[in-house]
């Protein structure tokens, strides 16, 4: 206790160490050196990543170096913390927290490698071709031997003269991923004929990325004619989109995760949670959210000025489908999202009430897809089945695919315009990691069943 007497201090230190296994006697304090080493590793990692990205443009190498550097920096910081605050940092809980943090870094890095889509050569969801009629099917609900169509399949949107249906919106949500205008125009012509024209097309890397097409009756495509204008917002397709999604929805995801362990959200008034999330938004996240809605509203304003008599529909896939829904609700226009997160915790941010959501918005939710479970939905939900062609459950990533969603809607409902879905749904797409068709011919218009003699059997995989 008496620092002037070195012998007494050593005796006191040994006595403390004997009573606590987390303590040991040392005449050198390494905490500052570990902390400085951690900072140095972090700086060197940033410099290396920058140089490799600028000179070699090798994203994978940058990702590996960033992960290794982050791991080393975390380990060094943990070593410094153990020496500064051993009563806290030496505990198993603290160590587990760091291990989980490092594991999440690697998991998130792996996820980002799965979202680089080849957007230059997308193929159309449906075509006007009738050379092979195996991809042409329509179920109006009158045939008792066919499965009951999804209710959303009978809904229509847009101008009375050129109404569009759920498959048209699903196709437009997919075509928003097209990387160039010529490919986009080609898919429009293949799916809708010459009466659908591109009227807005953002660059691919812009966030949010918006495309729009105008669907008119034959011979009625003047600016003052009454057509249907579909504005589509691109979903997650690259690492920037993943980071944007995490930045906007990380708070809600963390709160939902803790709520499964410690029921918090279910005991606190929902509106209070909404206002807390809105109040504590980071400035960067706030600017990003405001940018989304502002861009959508400005673009829609331009299109409404150019085509004042058109019926307008918002659509989009995934995260950006949510912002299409929110923009539609704010402007009093119909919006259909595919695999979009819930709107409830974002309503206060944009001054939207539950009434506007309920009256204007619908979301298509595939089973096994995790994204629509983020936040809470207050809109109309059309739940759909998501199974592989062999009857087994699809993976969450497959269920989130807009192509898979469109093919499931076609499998059950068919297409009232008798367009051909052969290539998209019944044939194997060599450009994807899924080496099987999205739909089995045995399951077209049939209900998945566990019966042994069923045409379309469910395979138990749980």
Distances in Å between the Cα of 391 and the Cα atoms of 79, 235, 362, 461 are 51, 28, 27, 9
What band does 57 get if pLDDT is binned at 50, 70 and 90? low
- Judge contact between 359 and 340, C-beta under 8 A: no
Task: Report H helices in 24-126.
Answer: 31-55, 59-84, 86-89, 92-112
Interatomic CA distance for residues 253 and 65, integer angstroms: 28
Please tell me the least confidently modeled range out of 28-32, 112-116, 205-209, 234-238: 112-116
Q: Of all residues in the chain, what percent carry a pLDDT higher than 70?
A: 77
**Per-residue pLDDT for 3 more than 50?**
no
| Integer Cα distance of 462 and 409 in angstroms | 24
Q: Is the pLDDT of residue 259 over 70?
A: no
Does residue 263 register a pLDDT over 70?
A: no
* Confidence band of 346 (pLDDT split at 50, 70, 90): confident
pLDDT grade for 172, boundaries at 50, 70 and 90 = very high
Task: State yes or no: pLDDT of 282 exceeds 70.
Answer: no
- Percent over 90 (pLDDT), the chain: 40
Inter-axis angle of helices 239-261 and 92-112, to 10 degrees? Answer: 140
Residue of 304, 130, 313, 332 lying closest to 215 (CA atoms): 313
What length does the chain have?
462
Among candidate residues 385, 365, 285, the one with its CA nearest the CA of residue 325: 365
- CA 363 to chain CA centroid, nearest Å: 13
- Burial (CB < 10 A; 0-12, 13-18, 19+), residue 3, is exposed
CB 108 within 8 A of CB 406: no
Helices (H), 270-371: 270-279, 283-306, 319-331, 347-350, 354-360
228 has which bridge partners? 215, 311
pLDDT at 168: 97
Q: Which CB contacts under 8 angstroms, 24+ apart, belong to 260-266? A: none
Question: For residue 62, what pLDDT band results from cuts at 50, 70 and 90?
Answer: confident
The β-bridge partners of 213 are: 198, 230
Q: Is the pLDDT of residue 60 over 80?
A: no
pLDDT in tens, 114-158: 555 556 678 999 999 877 888 999 999 999 999 999 999 999 999
Mean pLDDT of the chain: 82
Least confident window among 70-84, 137-151, 221-235, 320-334: 70-84
More confident of the two residues 348 and 259: 348
Minimum mean pLDDT among 118-132, 174-188, 234-248, 384-398: which range? 234-248
Least trusted range by pLDDT, from 254-263, 280-289, 340-349, 434-443: 254-263
Identify whether the C-beta of residue 213 lies closer than 8 Å to the C-beta of residue 176.
no
pLDDT digits (tens, 9 = 90+) for 364-395: 999 989 888 888 899 999 999 999 988 888 88
């Amino acid at each position: 206790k008496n620092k002037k007497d070195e012998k007494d201090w050593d005796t006191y230190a040994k006595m403390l160490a004997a009573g606590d296994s987390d303590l040991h006697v040392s005449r050198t304090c390494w905490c500052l050196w570990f902390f400085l080493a951690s900072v140095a590793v972090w700086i060197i990692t940033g410099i290396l990543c920058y140089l490799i990205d600028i000179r070699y443009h090798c994203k994978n190498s940058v990702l590996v170096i960033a992960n290794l550097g982050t791991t080393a920096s975390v380990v060094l910081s943990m070593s410094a913390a153990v020496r500064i605050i051993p009563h806290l940092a030496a505990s198993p809980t603290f160590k587990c927290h760091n291990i989980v943090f490092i594991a999440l870094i690697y998991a998130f890095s792996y996820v980002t490698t799965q979202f680089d889509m080849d957007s230059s050569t997308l193929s159309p969801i449906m075509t006007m071709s009738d050379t092979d009629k195996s991809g042409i099917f329509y179920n109006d609900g009158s045939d008792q031997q066919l499965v009951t169509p999804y209710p959303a399949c009978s809904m229509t949107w847009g101008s009375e003269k050129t109404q569009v249906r759920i498959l048209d919106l699903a196709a437009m949500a997919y075509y928003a991923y097209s990387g160039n205008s010529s490919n986009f125009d080609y898919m429009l012509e293949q799916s809708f004929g010459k009466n659908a024209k591109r009227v807005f097309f953002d660059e691919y890397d812009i966030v949010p990325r918006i495309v729009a097409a105008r669907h008119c009756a034959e011979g009625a495509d003047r600016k003052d004619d009454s057509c249907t204008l579909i504005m589509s917002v691109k979903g997650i397709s690259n690492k920037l989109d993943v980071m944007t999604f995490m930045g906007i929805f990380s708070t809600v995801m963390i709160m939902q995760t803790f709520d499964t362990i410690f029921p918090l959200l279910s005991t606190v008034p929902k509106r209070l949670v909404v206002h807390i999330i809105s109040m504590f938004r980071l400035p960067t996240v706030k600017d990003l959210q405001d940018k989304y809605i502002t861009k959508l509203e400005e673009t829609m304003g331009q299109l409404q000025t150019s085509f004042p008599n058109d019926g307008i529909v918002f659509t989009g896939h995934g995260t950006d489908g949510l912002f299409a829904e929110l923009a539609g609700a704010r402007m009093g226009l119909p919006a259909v999202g595919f695999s979009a997160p819930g709107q409830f915790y974002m309503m206060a941010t944009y001054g939207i009430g539950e009434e506007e959501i309920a009256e204007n918005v619908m979301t298509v939710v595939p089973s096994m897809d995790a994204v629509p479970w983020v936040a809470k939905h207050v809109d109309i939900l059309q739940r759909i089945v998501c199974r592989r062609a062999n009857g087994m459950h699809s993976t969450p990533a497959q269920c989130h695919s807009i192509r898979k969603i469109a093919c499931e809607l076609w499998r059950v409902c068919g297409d009232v315009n008798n367009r051909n879905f052969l290539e998209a749904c019944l044939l194997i797409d060599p450009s994807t990691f899924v080496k099987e068709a999205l739909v089995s011919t045995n399951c077209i218009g049939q209900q998945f069943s566990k019966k042994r003699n069923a045409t379309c059997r469910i395979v138990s995989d749980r």
